[in-house]
Amino acid sequence: MELFINQVLAGIATGAIYACMALAVVMIYQAIDHLNFAQGEMAMFSTFIAWQLMQWGVPYWWAFLLTLAFSFAGGIAIERMLFKPLAKAPILTNVAGFIALFAIVNSVAGLTWDFTIKQFPTPFGSSPFLGSQLISTHQAGMIGVTVGLLILLYLFFQFTRIGLAMRAAASLPESARLVGINTSWMIALGWGMASAIGAIAGILIAPVVFLEPNMMGGVLIYGFAAAVLGGLTSPLGAVVGGFLVGVFENLAGTYIPGVGNELKLPIALALIITVLVLKPAGLFGRPIVKRV
Amino acid sequence: MSAVEEVTSEAPAVEAVPKRAMTLGYGTSLVVLGLLIIAPMFLKNFFVFQMTMLLIYALAVLALNILTGGSGQFSLGQSAFYAVGAYTSAILMEHMGVNYALTLPIAGIICFGFGFLFGQPALRLSGIYLALATFALAVAMPQLLKLGFFEHWTGGVQGLVVTKPDAPFGLPISQDRWLYYFTLVIAIGIYVASVNLLRSRSGRAFMAIRDNEIAASAMGVDVALYKTLAFGVSAGITGVAGGLGAIAVQFVAPDGYTITLAISLFLGMVVGGVGWLPGSIVGSAFIIFVPNIAEHISKGLSGAVFGVLLFLVIFLVPHGARQVAIVAQQLIGKLKK
């Protein structure tokens, strides 16, 4: 039993990483209706910016804020320059654009900061949390920030005018335009916010997985999986999905014989597909009714 | 967030391609065919090998095109079918001594079955969810091939070495050239069969599902059957391509069939034009040659150069090579007047 509880705790700790990333994924999905494959790389790039600022002697929280501002502006700039012209192109062409962005960001980061792994500081410290060896204060802090972020996002979307406008633009673009919402800028705003949330995720994840250009590869896959599991239309679902994937992945690695690190991912994905087959809109997603 | 989605007001994921526009005219086809037959006679062996790979990837892109452009289902799992095809051929040749040409239909049939079965659970999923499911398949495949359980057959992490076949009947051409012409014959056969398939009753059923699934089922199309059938056909063709790939590269190993391959094939389809079968070879050329060109331009930044080139292509021609072909056709039409 103790092994079980410990593994669940460890799973929640890794789940927080996935939850963070899944939140960023859902944000951009809400705004633009596509999954952004380059999301992880954008987060990685933001994390490098934060690292660089700290190397130059900027204090942690200033570096954090500056990185957020930079990521927000960067997200908007990418949308304006690269994806606004593709708005009318077929969806699959947009996906190809994401892959191209992925290649560019990854390669530029690799050339600027090379591929050696770097330590990344944490503001929460890394001593054991409440006497447990499995969750450090950093991981507890990460869970706290993720939940806080979720509440902030909820308040933003439910109770602000801009949040309402963004929801309207995402759900019925044409009607939103008719009531005077600038849908094109709402999409840009969605990119900016997703990019900033990605930056937060990256900065929180970096002390655990270490900083290097490929750090997000694995995390993004789990983030996608978590987002899809929770339902792509629900930020809450994304966070819950993240924790579930983390816990399940750990339990499968411990209890199913023959599942080493190599098979963890396929098993986690297999579980998700099983869930999707039973409940195609995800655990918390609203099924979309189609009308001809 | 809206609970009701108007199917008709939404732009479909894949644009409707008129049936006739899915192929080339006779004249153009003959010119392309002529080039493909004559070119290798004047090329060095290495380039002949590259052209063989061009045809093999073109087949794999064509298979994805039938699935996505034909029936409107999206797949990131083509690398898994490719791997199954490649391993089937390799194991049959090396462990059982089957003739290389005979392994291909077997690879195709096994992959057809595999794809058809995979299409069953995939029926419940569409769009992004289907993408994730197929993606999972692609991620799992290399790990499954590495399992100790299959090691006797698959060679585990090390993979298998495949012997390259000699030209038969004592023909005085090199192994590479023979393999090229062998591949060319198969590729043409599959291309013609695919074109005919899409023109047939089944092909029309695919396209009806692609354009509007609900309307298609209302008209009496067996949606479940044709969707899984599309998966099976696509997987089967990919399997043949995989088998040919194993023979051409003379080597199979789990790490040769990762998700990167599936993404490349997807890019090939977009660059060639979704739903336009002749575009497959253009897309295949893009995914084989452009990374090399990018490497030549800058070693350190090859990924960035590749990304920029890809962006250039999709900015200039968002509909891929199909768009170029349509513009060219209109220009020629004007000149004739």
Amino acid B56: pLDDT: 92
A103 part of contact set with chain B, CB < 8 Å: yes
DSSP secondary structure string, A188-241? HHHHHHHHHHHHHHHHHHHHHH-B-TTTHHHHHHHHHHHHHHH-TT-HHHHHHH
Of B4, B6, B319, the CB nearest to A90: B319
Report d(CA B255, CA B146) in Å as an integer. 9
Please report, as a single letter, which amino acid is at residue B190. I
Nearest CA-CA distance, residue A105 and chain B, Å: 7
Q: For B257-290, how does the pLDDT look when each residue is reduced to its tens digit (9 = 90+)?
A: 888 888 889 988 888 888 888 888 888 988 888 8
Can you give the C-alpha Rg of chain A in angstroms?
19
Among A152, A214, A137, residue whose Cα is nearest residue A23: A152
Task: Please measure the distance between the N-terminal and C-terminal CA atoms of chain A and give it in whole angstroms.
Answer: 53
Residue B337: how many other CB atoms lie within 10 Å? 4
Interface contact flag, A96 B271, Cβ < 8 Å: yes
- The reply to whether residue A102 touches residue B304, judged by beta carbons under 8 angstroms, is no
Whole-complex ipTM: 0.80
| pLDDT per position as a tens digit, B58-81 | 999 999 999 988 888 888 889 999
Residues 6 or more apart whose Cβ sits within 8 Å of residue A49: A66, A67, A70, A71
Q: What is the pLDDT of residues B97-119, one digit of tens each?
A: 788 888 899 999 999 999 998 88
Q: Residue B132 and residue A273: Cβ atoms within 8 Å?
A: yes
- The answer to whether the CB atoms of B8 and A90 lie below 8 A apart is no
Q: How far apart are CA A271 and CA B96, in angstroms?
A: 36
CB contact under 8 A, B304 and A104: yes
Report the C-alpha gap between B6 and B71 in whole angstroms. 20
Query: How many degrees, rounded to 5, is the angle at CA B316 between CA B310 and CA B317?
Result: 85
Using an 8 Å CB-CB cutoff, list chain A residues near B301. 107-108, 111
Q: How far is CA B171 from the centre of its chain?
A: 30
- pLDDT digit string (tens) for B122-139? 777 777 778 878 888 888
CB distance A292–B7 less than 8 Å?
Answer: yes
Residues 174-203 of A with CB under 8 A from B: none
Q: Measure in Å the smallest separation between the Cα of A277 and chain B Cα atoms.
A: 6
Name the average pLDDT for chain B. 82
Rounded to whole angstroms, the Cα distance separating B272 from B144 reads 31
Average pLDDT for chain A: 82
Q: What is the least distance, in Å, from the CA of B301 to any CA of chain A?
A: 6
Please give the helix or strand (H or E) that residue A49 lies within, else none: helix A39-55
Task: Out of A86, A107, A291, name the one closest to residue B303 (CB).
Answer: A107
**Is the Cβ–Cβ distance between A230 and A285 less than 8 Å?**
yes
Interface test with B, best of A88, A107, A172, A245 (most B CBs within 10 A): A107
Which of B218, B307, B318 is the closest to A86 by Cβ? Answer: B318
Q: Tell me, what's the pLDDT at A261?
A: 64
User: Which residue blocks in A79-182 are alpha helix, DSSP H?
Assistant: 91-113, 137-159, 161-171, 173-178
- Using a pLDDT cut of 70, give the percent of chain A over it: 92
- Give pLDDT tens digits for A193-239: 889 988 988 888 888 878 888 888 778 888 888 888 888 778 888 88
| B136 contacts A273? CB cut-off 8 A | yes
CA distance B97 to chain A (A): 32
Residue found by looking up tokens 């579980």 in the block: A271
Q: Which of B149, B157, B84 is nearest to B118 (CA)?
A: B84
Which positions 156-185 of B are in contact with A (Cβ < 8 Å)?
Answer: none
Q: Find the CB nearest B7 among A265, A287, A291.
A: A291
A238 contact residues in B (CB cutoff 8 A): none
Residues 6+ apart with CB under 8 A from B59: B186, B187, B190, B237, B238, B240, B241, B244, B280
pLDDT level of residue A291 (50, 70, 90 thresholds): low
Pairing of strands A289-291, B4-6: parallel
Is the minimum CB–CB distance between B219 and chain A shorter than 8 Å?
no
C-alpha distance from residue A244 to each of A149, A222, A247, B323 (Å) = 18, 11, 5, 45
What pLDDT score does B6 carry?
44
Q: Are A115 and A212 in contact (CB under 8 A)?
A: yes
**In the predicted structure, residue B214 carries a pLDDT above the cut 90:** no
